[in-house]
Homo-oligomer: A and B are copies of this chain.
Amino acid sequence: MEFQIDATSQGARACTIKTAHSTILTPVFMPVGTQGTVKALDANDMLELGAKIILGNTYHLYLRPTSKLIKKFGGLHGFSKFPNSFLTDSGGFQAFSLSDNSKPDENGIMFKSHIDGSKHYFTPKSVLDTQYELNSDIMMILDDLVALPNTDERIKKSIERTTKWAKEAIDYHMEQKSKGIGTHQNIFAIIQGGTSKEFRKLSAQQLCDMSDFDGFAIGGLSVGEPNQDMYDTVEWTTQFMPKEKPRYLMGVGTPEDLIENIERGVDMFDCVMPTRNARNGTLFTTFGKLNIKKAQFKEDDKPIDACCECYTCKNFTRAYLNHLLRAGEITYFRLASIHNIHYYLDLMRKAREAILIDNWEEFKKEFYTKRSK
């Protein structure tokens, strides 16, 4: 992975990341394609939207269609036909989101498949083996993520485990690379520590000392804590992260969350929000969110967002989308998802432009002013 900082503005960074499959300009939002597709869309839709990197979920893909099968098709790129970069998570987040069916111990996480109940033990090494098969451009280490609020004891255990697993992961990856496996794949560690300054500092220092990692993520946020705590934790944590490597805030968030965290030095984001919200009727616009299902849009002949140049806004009215959603037409899901992803990607493009001309403060002010109208 090549990485360079192109510009900074008020703490916000504009960087360039080059992987084997694409050049990624940051700040970047990575749409989530859990099961090998971004929901309701296909590879060409993502290319049309200008996505240079999307996320796949290791846990889901390992179970179905299996990473072994995906490997036969040339990895995620060959299987899904999306030619740009993939980042794959490790399953650590699923241990949290599917906690009824998972149990971490000192050496890994035991999962009970949500598909057929079969048991699968994920270790720091096994999740890399899976990600080698998926052939993702950026692999995440297995981490031990905890819900917030939580006890100091549990958070401490989380960072201890995560550091131990990170060491195992990076040693294994360097060994594999020396054997010619995953040589073009990159690996990121994940900083844990809840919202505690002390724990975040400790986790960041321990992980960032392992200089073979290609980038560092902040994990374990956006899991129930107040927004301001998330912002404060990110602001605190980034100071312990190396400037010369990408910084990725996992699972975040709203457009406001992105703006606030870009300002705090984050380069990369992912979240199911644009696609999940689209399916529920919540659409993002320059002027804030709207619920397209509302009666007020029934006869509205305007596009979702007058400022938007996405396929959906260029072609269809709010009234038509309101009808499709109310009538239960599948067509709605694609059109709404295209719009919301375009909104997120375009916001990142505009943020980058502002950073490049050192105009962050003005950009941020305008972002909030339009939304309060």
Contacts and interface: CB of A to CB of B under 8 A. Distances in A.
Interface of A: 35-44, 60, 64-65, 69, 72-73, 79-81, 298-299, 301, 315-317, 319-320, 322-324, 326-327, 329-331, 333-335
Contact of A81 (B72, B316, B329): B316
A333 B330 CA distance: 8
A301 B69 CA distance: 11
B315 A43 contact: yes
A349 to B, nearest CB: 24
A69 B298 contact: yes
28 contacts: A35-B327, A36-B320, A37-B324, A37-B331, A38-B331, A39-B329, A39-B331, A40-B334, A42-B331, A44-B315, A60-B327, A64-B326, A65-B319, A65-B322, A65-B323, A69-B298, A69-B319, A73-B317, A73-B319, A73-B320, A79-B317, A79-B320, A79-B323, A80-B320, A81-B315, A81-B320, A330-B334, A334-B334
Nearest to A301: B73
How many copies of this chain? 2
A44 B329 CA distance: 16
A39 B330 contact: yes
A137 B349 CA distance: 44
Contacts of A65: 298, 319, 322-323, 326-327
A65 B35 CA distance: 34
A231 B315 CA distance: 42
B327 A64 contact: yes
Nearest to A63: B327
Given A42-B335, A81-B316, A316-B81, A323 B72 contact: no
Contacts of A73: 301, 317, 319-320
Contact of A330 (B40, B80, B316, B324): B40
Nearest to A315: B81
A276 B6 CA distance: 51
| A37, A40, A60 interface centre (most CB from chain B within 10 Å) | A37
Contact of A35 (B40, B64, B301, B329): B329
Contact of A299 (B37, B44, B69): B69
A72 B315 CA distance: 17
Contacts of A35: 323-324, 327, 329
Contact of A42 (B60, B79, B334): B334
A65 to B, nearest CB: 4
Nearest to A41: B331
Q: What are the 5 A-B residue pairs with the smallest beta carbon separation, nearest first?
A: A65-B323, A40-B330, A35-B327, A37-B331, A330-B333
Given A36-B329, A79-B319, A80-B320, 13 more contacts: A35-B329, A36-B327, A37-B324, A39-B329, A40-B331, A42-B335, A64-B323, A65-B298, A65-B322, A65-B327, A72-B299, A330-B330, A334-B334
A351 to B, nearest CB: 28
A74 to B, nearest CB: 10
Contact of A36 (B79, B81, B323, B333): B323
Contacts of A80: 320
